[in-house]
Structure 1
C-alpha cells in the first residue's frame, strides 16, 4: 500500500464522489479525515472505511471559512499525528439560469467550492511548509468549469477559478516540493441521475451492473470509483513530478486538459483599431471561434431513455 503512514483530508466525503475518494485513499493505506455537514452521514462513512479495514475519523463542519479549514487540519493532526494529503471535494449546487439566479445562489456556491478550496489549501500548505512535508493537494474541477454549462453560472465560475488557482499554486509550492492538481471527474452523481441522457448508465450502475460501453468508452462517463484511482495516484509519491495540471477521469477514459493557449495570432503595425477590426475582425476572429459547452454524441437506439424520462 503506497500511502501507508500517510494522512489525508477529503472534504465533502460523507457520500458520493468524496466517499469514493476517501475509501480508495484508505484502501491504499492512508488514514482519512471524513468531512461532512451531517454528523450521521460522516459517522456512517467512517464506519464504512473501518469495516473495510481502514482508519478514519470525522470532522463535521461546513467548508468555506478559515475556521473550518483550521478545524480540518487540526482534526487530522490530533487524530493521526500529521497531514500529508488534502482533497478538496466539498461542493453544493444552486443551478438557475442567469436572470433567475439570486445573489445567495451565487454566493453560496462560490463560498463552498471556490473559497472553501482556497481556505483549505492555504491551511494545508501552511502545515506542509511548517513541518517540511512534501504534501499532495488534489482539487476537484468539472467539465462545466472547462467548457461552461447552461444554468450553472455560479458553478462554472467556481470550477474555472479552482483550475486557475491550481496553476498559480503549482508555481508557489514548487520550492516546497508540494504538488497541486485539479481532477475533472465525469461520473454518475445525484446531478447526472436526473438527466435523461444518462438514464441507462445510471440504471445499470444502480443494479450493480457495468455501464454500457458507449458511456464508459465513447463518453468517458463512469462511476465514482473510476475517478478515485486518479485521486489516490496524484496523492502518492509516484506522482511527485505532476503539478499544476487539470486531469480528467471517467469510465475508461483519462484526459490531460490543455492550458488555455492562443488559437490564432495576428499582428498589425500601430495596433488593432476599431476601423481595422471592422475590416478584418470577422476574418481573423470569426474563423477561429472556439466551441462552448459539452457536446454529447447521439445516443444509440438501444440506450435511448424511455418516453416518460425523455419528457
Structure 2
C-alpha cells in the first residue's frame, strides 16, 4: 500500500470519517489536501497528520460549488505538483420525515452530498486526463442510499444518486485508467451515536473501549479507523482493476452491494392493461417484492 508518490484530496476531512481517511492515506505516504468549513478544525487535522510524519495542507471552504472544487484541486497541484486521488466525503444531515422536510432541508443536503460529489469529481477528472496517468475516485455512499432510511429523504436520495453516478463514471473513465468506486461506511460517529438502536452499545463501548461482536460483525459497524483501510486500498495500485463497485465496510465486515437486477418477470403478448397486471400479479410477482430499510439482527431489534 505504498502511496508515497500519490496526492489526495479528501473533502470533509477535518474530523470523523474524513479525518480517518486522510490520516490513513498520509500514513501510507500520500500527501493530502484536508478540507473543512471550520478553519481551526482543518488546521488541527493538518497538525495531526504532520505530527505523525505525514504531509498535508488545508482548504477551508464548503463543498458544493465549482469554485470550491477548483480550489481543492489547485491546492493539490500547487503544493504537491499533481493529483491522484479524489475522496468525496463531505456531508451534512437535515433529517425530517417527508411532510416536515422543507425545501431548504432538501436543497442543503443535495448541494453538499450530491452536487459536491459531482463538482469535485468533475474537477479532479479534468486534472487526471491532463496528467494522462490515470487516477482514483472514491465517493462515499451509505446503506441509506441502497435501502432507504426513515426520516432521510434528502440523504438517501443523494447517496443513491452518488452510486448511480459512480457506475456511469466507471464506464466513461475506463479508457483513461481512472477507477471510480463508492464506499458505504458503517461507523460510530457523531451522526450515528444518537440512533436509539445503537445508543446503549455505543455508550457501553465508551466504558469498555470495545464494541460487542453483535455490532462489529452482525451489524458491520465499527470505528472510523475500521473504514479507512479500504480507502487506502482503493487509492493504491493494488486496486487498479476495481471500478464501478459499491463496497460496504464497517467493524469486522467487508462486503459488496449488488447492482440492481431484475428479480422477477412475466410476459403478456400485446403488453399489459391494468386488468392484465391484476390477473398476473399474485402468481408472478407478489411473492418477490423487495423489503425497504436496513435489516438488523433480531437480537438487536427484539423482533
TM-score range, shorter chain: over 0.9
Q: Which residue matches 1:266?
A: 266
Worse-matched range after superposition: 195-204 or 104-113 = 195-204
The ranges of structure 1 where at least 4 consecutive aligned residues each deviate by more than 4 angstroms after the TM superposition are none
Q: Which residue matches 1:309?
A: none
CA distance in 2, matches of 1:143, 1:65: 25
Shift of 1:13: 0.2
Q: Where in structure 1 are there 5+ consecutive unaligned residues?
A: 305-311
Q: RMSD over aligned Cα, in angstroms?
A: 1.4
CA distance in 2, matches of 1:56, 1:83: 13
TM-score, with normalisation over the residues of structure 2?
A: 0.97
CA distance in 2, matches of 1:266, 1:87: 42
Deviations 1:70-95 (A, max 9, x none): 00000111111111001000000000
Residues 64 and 111 of structure 1 are in contact (CA less than 8 Å); yes or no, is this contact kept in structure 2?
Answer: yes
2:194 aligned with 1:189: no
Q: Which residue matches 1:129?
A: 129
Deviations 1:252-271 (A, max 9, x none): 00111110000112111111
Aligned length: 302
Deviations 1:4-23 (A, max 9, x none): 12100000000000000000
CA distance in 1, matches of 2:197, 2:74: 43
TM-score, with normalisation over the residues of structure 1?
A: 0.94
What does 1:242-253 correspond to in 2, within 5 Å? Answer: 242-253=242-253
Residues 205 and 223 of structure 1 are in contact (CA less than 8 Å); yes or no, is this contact kept in structure 2?
Answer: no
Shift of 1:218: 1.3
Q: Which residue matches 1:5?
A: 5
CA distance in 1, matches of 2:186, 2:4: 28
Deviations 1:205-238 (A, max 9, x none): 4347121111111111111011100011001000
Residues 265 and 285 of structure 2 are in contact (CA less than 8 Å); yes or no, is this contact kept in structure 1?
Answer: no
Worse-matched range after superposition: 278-287 or 137-146 = 278-287
What does 1:153-302 correspond to in 2, within 5 Å? Answer: 153-207=153-207, 209-299=209-299
